[in-house]
């Protein structure tokens, strides 16, 4: 007998009785992708409103491509830059650049659609490979596709969505179980890229690390696998620290971490920003509390996913103890959900911070369903999936349809409302009526539209920069209404000004402002206020 025909080491074998099926179930994948394309693609340029943060990431991507900088303003390490570097890479390959799909945020949203579709495939495959249940995989992909919470936030250009793509890709690589070190290393690199896309990935680390341990513990090359997972995960983080050190911005001036000071010294500092972020809480002006957002926003958008997702995540911590094959992946996925949930309950939040919970809940849902139906025939599992999904899809007030004020059945807002038209009209009015050298205080959602213009509105700056960035506050506006020509109000910008204590801008509006343009639709209201016109 030659060595070539010897038994291979047990690198690929599961330890349970049931093995994942050999077929992927391509029809189900295609159906999932088509559903994702429809739910996330339909009306995505019109709904939801362009968000401030979408504008921030697009303007930073703009700065990467046009100025070879990480931000048009002082980059103070509020987020690691890999997310908008990715966006910049996406824009760079498009013939039309930032306007390839009408405007910058639309162009970013197309990337988010692609990210979503890739995530759907990864989610499906992760669950199928771990549980062997195509029904469970389809269920998760379907929920991920149609959840109103998901549709709302995953259409938006958010770092969270890019972060979750890397997390899912890393999980997928571990789920492949091909016994190779480079695959495990790739999974580690994905996690590292998730970390430098958005640092919140750190809260998913315990689950990922546990999964790594369980996935490769029977491999003969596990020592290399584990070591290089960590090495590859840390490499991007070290690169980020190195970047700050090269710019002499790793430590604050004189190593002064005193948060009572307004700034970390004469230069920004990565570690100071991290220190500041660690001490943020929901009482600060930079965000809202978990309970506020849960009641005011998230439950309103999608209570089904939040309730079911929480339930299966908690159950996943305890279920399947006797199932050696499923126990590890189930517990790992539950730990990821719990880890991120812990972050949500402890931090000062913005509305969209919930976005990563959508795929995490879907993941846990699929894993739990796979475990629950492990002895059920595929047809039975399919019927069960249909029984679960049909009601929430067709039921008014569910995932897809609702009654309007006239009692008529119609599609949910996400597939119908043309909200962003107001923002386009606002930009069009500025371009038609405001000279390019005017000094504007704006919100970030229209930043690229004004700066990527010919000629550009070089003096259009976001309101929080006009308050907090010395380069803008002191050199452009000098904190005086007399140096402002217009304030362009996005929806609920007034709330943000008040929350942020941006009093000089509020006074400029209230005491010296005159509304020259206004558009309202439902509870969305935009304005352009000319400053100095009344004095």
Partner 1 sequence: MEQLVLTILTLISLVLTVQAAHALYLMIYTWDRPEAGDRARVPDRRATPALSFTAILPARHEEEVIQHTIARAASADYPPHLVQILVVCSADDVGTIEQAQAQVNRLRAMGRTNVEVVVFDDGPINKPHGLNTALRYATNDVVAIFDAEDEVQPQLFDIVNTIMSEEDVGCVQAGVQLMNFQSNWYSTFNVLEYFFWFRSRLHYHAKNGAIPLGGNTVFFKRTLIERLGGWDESNLTEDADIGLRLSSMGEKVRVVYDDRYVTKEETPPTLQSFIKQRTRWCQGFMQTLGKGTWKLMPTRRQRFLAWYTLAFPHVQAMLGVYLPVALLSAFVLTVPVPIAMLSWLPVLMLGAHFVMSVVGLYEFTGAHGLKATPGTVVKMAITWFPYQMVLSYAAARALWRQVKGERNWEKTAHVGAHRTAAETAELTNVG
Chain residues in the site for partner 1 (CB under 8 A): 1-4, 6, 8-9, 11, 179-182, 220-221, 223-224, 227-228, 231, 235, 238-239, 242-243, 246-247
Q: Report, in Å, the least distance between residue 95 CB and partner 1.
A: 25
13/421 with CB nearer partner 1: 13
The distance of closest approach from Cβ of residue 196 to partner 1 in the complex, given in angstroms and rounded to an integer, is 13
Phi/psi for 411 (5° steps) reads: -65, 155
Q: How far apart are CA 186 and CA 194, in angstroms?
A: 12
Least separation, in Å, of the C-beta of 81 and partner 1? 12
Which residues sit opposite 288 in a β-bridge? Answer: 349
DSSP state of 373: T
- Give me the torsion for CA of 527, 531, 534, 535, rounded to 10°: 160
Residue located via tokens 């730990």: 335
DSSP string, 397-427: TSSSEEE-TTS-EEE-GGGT--THHHHHHHH
Between residues 179 and 341, which has the closer beta carbon with respect to partner 1? Answer: 179
CB-wise, 82 or 464, nearer to partner 1? 82
* Residue 315 CB partners (closer than 8 Å, separation 6+): 334, 368
Neighbouring CB atoms inside 10 A of 168's CB total: 25
Give every CB contact of residue 176 below 8 A, 6+ residues apart in sequence: 129, 183
Measured from the CB atom, the residue of 185 and 358 that comes closer to partner 1 is: 185
8 CB burial (10 A radius; 0-12, 13-18, 19+): exposed
Nearer to partner 1, 121 or 231 (CB): 231
Minimum CB separation from partner 1 for residue 354, in Å? 34
Phi, psi of 399 (to 5 degrees): -75, -30
In the complex, least distance from residue 73 CB atom to partner 1, rounded to whole angstroms: 17
Instruction: Determine the length of the chain.
Output: 535
Residue 170 or 366: the one with the smaller Cβ distance to partner 1 is 170
At closest approach, how far in Å is the CB of 279 from partner 1? 29
The radius of gyration of the chain from alpha carbons, rounded to an integer in Å, stands at 25
Residue 113: CB minimum distance to partner 1, A:
30
- Find out whether 511 and 466 touch, Cβ atoms under 8 Å: no
Interatomic CA distance for residues 46 and 207, integer angstroms: 36
Between residues 92 and 383, which has the closer beta carbon with respect to partner 1? 92
Residue 48's nearest CA partner among 138, 112, 124, 130 is: 112
Which of residues 192 and 337 has its CB atom nearest to partner 1 in the complex?
192
Minimum CB separation from partner 1 for residue 243, in Å? 6
Given the complex with partner 1, which of 247 and 346 has the nearer CB atom? Answer: 247
Select from 246, 252, 245 the least CA-distant residue to 268: 252
What are the DSSP E strand ranges found in 204-304?
A: none
Instruction: Give the nearer residue to partner 1 in terms of CB position, either 88 or 355.
Output: 88
CA nearest 169: which of 198, 190, 148?
190
Tokens of 11: 């690198």
Q: Where are the alpha helices (DSSP H) in 68-158?
A: 82-92, 104-131, 134-146, 148-154
The CB-of-197 to partner 1 minimum distance in angstroms stands at 17
In the complex, minimum distance from the CB of residue 179 to partner 1, in angstroms, rounded to a whole number: 5
């Amino acid at each position: 007998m030659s060595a070539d025909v010897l038994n291979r080491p047990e690198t690929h074998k599961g330890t349970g009785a049931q093995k994942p099926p050999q077929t992927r179930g391509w029809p189900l994948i295609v159906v999932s992708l088509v559903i994702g394309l429809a739910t996330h693609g339909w009306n995505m340029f019109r709904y939801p409103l362009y968000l401030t943060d979408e504008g921030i990431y697009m303007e930073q991507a703009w700065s990467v491509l046009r100025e070879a900088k990480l931000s048009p303003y002082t980059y103070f390490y509020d987020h690691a830059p890999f997310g908008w570097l990715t966006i910049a890479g996406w824009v760079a390959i498009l013939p039309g650049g930032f306007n390839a799909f009408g405007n910058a945020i639309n162009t970013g949203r197309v990337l988010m659609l692609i990210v979503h579709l890739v995530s759907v495939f990864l989610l499906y495959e992760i669950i199928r490979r771990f549980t062997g249940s195509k029904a469970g995989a389809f269920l998760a992909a379907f929920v991920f596709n149609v959840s109103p919470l998901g549709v709302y936030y995953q259409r938006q250009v958010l770092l969270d969505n890019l972060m979750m793509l890397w997390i899912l890709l890393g999980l997928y690589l571990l789920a492949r179980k091909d016994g190779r070190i480079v695959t495990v290393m790739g999974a580690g690199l994905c996690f590292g890229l998730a970390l430098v896309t958005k640092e919140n990935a750190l809260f998913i680390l315990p689950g990922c690390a546990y999964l790594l341990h369980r996935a490769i513990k029977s491999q003969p090359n596990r020592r290399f696998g584990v070591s290089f997972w960590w090495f590859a995960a840390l490499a991007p983080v070290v690169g980020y620290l190195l970047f700050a050190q090269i710019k002499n911005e790793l430590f604050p001036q004189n190593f002064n971490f005193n948060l009572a000071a307004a700034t970390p010294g004469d230069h920004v500092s990565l570690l100071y920003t991290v220190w500041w972020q660690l001490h943020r809480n929901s009482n600060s002006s930079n965000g809202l509390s978990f309970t506020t957002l849960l009641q005011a926003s998230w439950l309103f958008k999608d209570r089904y996913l939040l309730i079911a997702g929480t339930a299966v995540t908690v159950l996943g911590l305890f279920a399947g103890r006797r199932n050696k094959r499923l126990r590890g992946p189930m517990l790992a996925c539950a730990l990821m959900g719990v880890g991120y949930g812990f972050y949500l309950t402890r931090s000062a939040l913005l509305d969209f911070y919930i976005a990563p919970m959508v795929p995490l809940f879907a993941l846990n849902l699929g894993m739990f369903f796979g475990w629950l139906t492990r002895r059920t025939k595929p047809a039975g599992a399919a019927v069960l999936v249909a029984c679960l999904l049909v009601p929430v899809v067709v039921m008014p007030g569910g995932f897809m349809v609702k009654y309007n004020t006239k009692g008529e059945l119609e599609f949910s807002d996400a597939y119908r409302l043309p909200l962003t038209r107001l923002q386009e009209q606002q930009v069009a009015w500025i371009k038609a009526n405001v000279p390019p050298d005017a000094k504007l205080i704006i919100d970030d959602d229209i930043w690229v539209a004004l700066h990527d213009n010919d000629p550009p509105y070089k003096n259009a700056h976001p309101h929080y920069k006009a308050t907090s960035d010395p380069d803008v506050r002191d050199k452009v506006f000098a904190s005086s209404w007399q140096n402002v020509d217009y304030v362009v109000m996005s929806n609920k910008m007034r709330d943000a000004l008040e929350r942020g204590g941006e009093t000089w801008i509020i006074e400029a509006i209230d005491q010296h402002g005159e509304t020259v343009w206004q558009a309202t639709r439902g509870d969305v209201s935009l304005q352009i206020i000319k400053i100095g016109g009344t004095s």
